[in-house]
Amino acid sequence: MELSVTPLRLAELVGVPTSVGLYGQGAGAEQTVPVYAFLVQGGARGPVLFDLGPPGEDAPAVPGRPAVSGRVGVGEALRKAGVDPFDVTTVVASHLHWDHCVGLDDVPNARLLVQREELRFAFTPDVEQWRPYDSWEQGRTPSWSATLDRTDAIDGVVRLDDGLVIVPTPGHTPGSQSLLVERPDRSFLLCGDLFTTYDNLGGVVPRAGARATRVPPGIHHDLTAWRRSIDQVTQNGWLPLPAHDVRVIEVLDGTWDPFEAR
């Protein structure tokens, strides 16, 4: 059976600085972006969930953090997709930023798979990443810390099933990972915030007549690692499905190809 990918729109983030998605661009501008998790079905492992979501609107406000709007719980989103949350035994976390790691309680039989390097960094992040990790250094308790008893640290590439492979894609964070869904026609890469938006693929022209270059996200840990991860995506011809770009719907249904659009 061919693996299927279903996007689950869990919320919107309101008031996101444009520069968070596109490094060095849109100073002073803000936007509203979706938050997607992805459901993969058709494998022997059963339904697999990639990423979780942000806390709800009732969570205490955090200075400088975008507001959460229209949040749908993970369990509700799965039920709308025709899946019993109790049937999900595997959740793959792209990384542990605050808007990607809330909702594991909605899938009570699932284990959360996180790169070991991501866990290490999340405990003691660089100061520039204190806020996205909800770090203790800010006097907060990270959401991911409440589910450590259901979290499994993994190292490197892990094949979950036929056609379903966890691939390290560092750069946004040290332990960022993606989930490769191999299909006969075209493989999809569920990639979290490796791309905050498809505009990261190109668009900056440093001088007249020069080729457009890639634009990293505004939140990143290692730009050299990020570029290597992007090279891996483009060289393999994987179609990326990021967490915060509504155009993932068009990519999945085949009406738009982000590479042909460059």
Beta bridge partners of 90: 48, 111
Q: Take residue 181 and report the two structure tokens written for it.
A: 């869904």
- For the chain, percent of residues with pLDDT exceeding 90: 74
Mean pLDDT across 85-103: 97
Cβ-defined contacts of 63-67 (< 8 Å, 24+): 64/131, 65/98, 65/131, 66/13, 66/14, 66/15, 66/16, 67/13, 67/14, 67/15
* Phi, psi (deg, nearest 5) at residue 4: -115, 150
Domain ranges of the chain: 4-251
Distance CA 163, CA 42 (A): 10
Q: How many residues does the chain have?
A: 262
- Looking at the predicted structure, is the pLDDT value of residue 151 above 60? yes
Distance CA 126, CA 195 (A): 21
Contact of 167 with 230, CB cutoff 8 Å: no
Distance CA 260, CA 180 (A): 20
CATH placement of domain 4-251? 3.60.15.10
Q: How many CB atoms lie within 10 A of CB 255?
A: 9
- Looking at the predicted structure, is the pLDDT value of residue 209 above 80? no
pLDDT at 201: 86
pLDDT band at 224; cut points 50, 70, 90 = very high
pLDDT at 22: 86
- Looking at the predicted structure, is the pLDDT value of residue 202 above 80? no
- Looking at the predicted structure, is the pLDDT value of residue 210 above 70? no
Find all residues with CB under 8 Å of 120, minimum gap 6, and list them: 174, 175
Q: Of 124, 185, 119, give the one whose Cα is nearest residue 155.
A: 119
According to DSSP, residue 208 is labeled T
- Looking at the predicted structure, is the pLDDT value of residue 249 above 60? yes
Please give the C-alpha separations between residue 199 and each of 18, 176, 189, 217, 258, in angstroms, as whole numbers: 11, 19, 16, 10, 9
Beta bridge partners of 167: 178
Strand ranges, E, within the chain: 4-17, 30-41, 48-50, 67-69, 90-92, 111-115, 151-154, 158-161, 164-168, 177-181, 188-192, 239-242
pTM listed for this prediction? 0.94
Mean pLDDT across 135-149: 90
Residue 103 Rama label (left phi>0; alpha psi -120 to 50; beta): left
pLDDT band at 5; cut points 50, 70, 90 = very high
